[in-house]
């Protein structure tokens, strides 16, 4: 157990080193959401409810998307690439505990997610009227959303990684899925203004619930009445994230491949 954790930690450090050295990945994962923030925050700065601007609404959604980008999208693309390069096959031929590999991935996701959230919070408060909550209970909500959100995004990324046929095809498959989910889940538009079928479709997936959770942290309590259910539904958010995490774990264990055969 201790050995698994020690090696998992060492893998996390190694993954972070590799992540930092792959500049395209850093730019794609970290800078892209910030660029989107500037574009959308500057174009749509109208008030969508008393004392709530669209840019505030958008920052909350982008933080939720950040979890999906650095967890799901990142792993669903990089793991197939590592499968193609023989990295996974090599690891599978060593006595490395396989859990350590996934711990390492989780650490790398936490790192890139942390960077991304800090950048979004920083730019959001400096330029787009985002107000950091003063109520400690909201920070508590933020904390569990980050933890549960990053765990489920990591596991779903690992689970999805067995679907792309090659590393090269992974990005073409995964990126559109994420972008469509972002549109449907109310990241780029106010969720309640979307067509009903789109809302219902998005409600199946975790991103919609993560964005709603983040709004409960960064938007005033009064805005809850604007949500679909008239409240932020924190309990339901936790439940849905847990269900996806369990399903993802099951699927990942069943389908994970260390090499292309």
- Which residues contact another protein (rule: CB under 8 A)? 6-7, 10-11, 14, 17-18, 21-22, 82, 85-87, 89-90, 92-97, 258-259, 261
The minimum distance between CB 129 and another protein, in angstroms, equals 39
Toward another protein, which CB reaches closer, 97 or 169? 97
The minimum distance between CB 77 and another protein, in angstroms, equals 16
Task: Give CA–CA dist 66/149, Å, rounded.
Answer: 10
3-state helix, strand, coil in the chain (%, to 5): 80, 0, 20
27: number of Cβ within 10 Å: 11
Toward another protein, which CB reaches closer, 21 or 254? 21
Toward another protein, which CB reaches closer, 7 or 181? 7
142 contact partners, CB below 8 Å, separation of at least 6? 133, 214, 217
The minimum distance between CB 32 and another protein, in angstroms, equals 20
The answer to whether 128 touches 38, Cβ cutoff 8 Å, is no
Would you call 163 helix, strand, or coil by DSSP?
coil
Toward another protein, which CB reaches closer, 13 or 140? 13
In the block, residue with structure tokens 């910030």? 34
The minimum distance between CB 115 and another protein, in angstroms, equals 18
């Amino acid at each position: 157990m201790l050995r698994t954790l020690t090696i998992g930690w060492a893998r996390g450090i190694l993954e972070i080193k590799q992540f930092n050295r792959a500049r395209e990945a850093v730019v794609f994962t970290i800078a892209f959401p910030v660029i989107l923030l500037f574009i959308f925050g500057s174009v749509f700065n109208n008030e969508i409810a008393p004392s709530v601007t669209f840019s505030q609404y958008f920052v909350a959604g982008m933080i939720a998307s950040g979890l999906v980008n650095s967890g799901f999208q990142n792993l669903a693309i990089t793991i197939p690439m590592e499968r193609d390069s023989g990295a996974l096959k090599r690891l599978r031929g060593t006595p490395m505990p396989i859990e350590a590999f996934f711990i390492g991935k989780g650490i790398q996701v936490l790192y890139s997610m942390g960077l991304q959230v800090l950048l979004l919070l920083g730019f959001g408060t400096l330029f787009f009227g985002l107000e950091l909550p003063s109520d400690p209970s909201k920070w508590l909500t933020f904390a569990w959303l980050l933890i549960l959100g990053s765990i489920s995004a990591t596991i779903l990324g690992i689970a999805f990684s067995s679907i792309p046929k090659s590393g090269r095809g992974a990005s073409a498959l995964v990126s559109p899925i994420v972008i469509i989910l972002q549109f449907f889940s109310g990241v780029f538009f106010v969720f309640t203004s979307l067509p009903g079928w789109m809302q219902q479709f998005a409600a199946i997936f975790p991103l919609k619930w993560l964005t709603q959770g983040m709004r409960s942290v960064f938007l005033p309590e009064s805005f809850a009445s604007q949500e679909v259910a008239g409240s932020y539904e924190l309990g339901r958010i936790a439940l849905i994230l847990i269900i996806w995490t369990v399903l993802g774990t099951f699927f990942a264990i069943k389908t994970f491949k260390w090499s292309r055969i």
